[in-house]
Amino acid sequence: MKKLVIASNNPGKLREFQRMLAPLGIEVLTQAQLGIKEAEEPHCTFVENALAKARHVSAASGLPALADDSGICVAALGGAPGVQSARYAGDDPKSDTRNNEKLLYAMQGAADRRAHYYCVLVLVHRADDPQPVIAEGEWHGEIGFEERGSGGFGYDPLFRLPDFGKTAAELSHDEKAQVSHRAKALKVLLDKLRLGDA
- 69 among known catalytic residues: yes
Catalytic residue among 68, 69, 96, 156, which? 69
168 neighbors 149 (Cβ within 8 angstroms): yes
CA distance 197 to 16: 23
146 contacts: CB under 8 Å, gap ≥ 6: 104, 158
DSSP track, 62-120: SS-EEEEEEEEEEGGGTT-BGGGGGGTT-STT--HHHHHHHHHHHTTT-S--EEEEEEE
Q: Which residues are catalytic?
A: 69
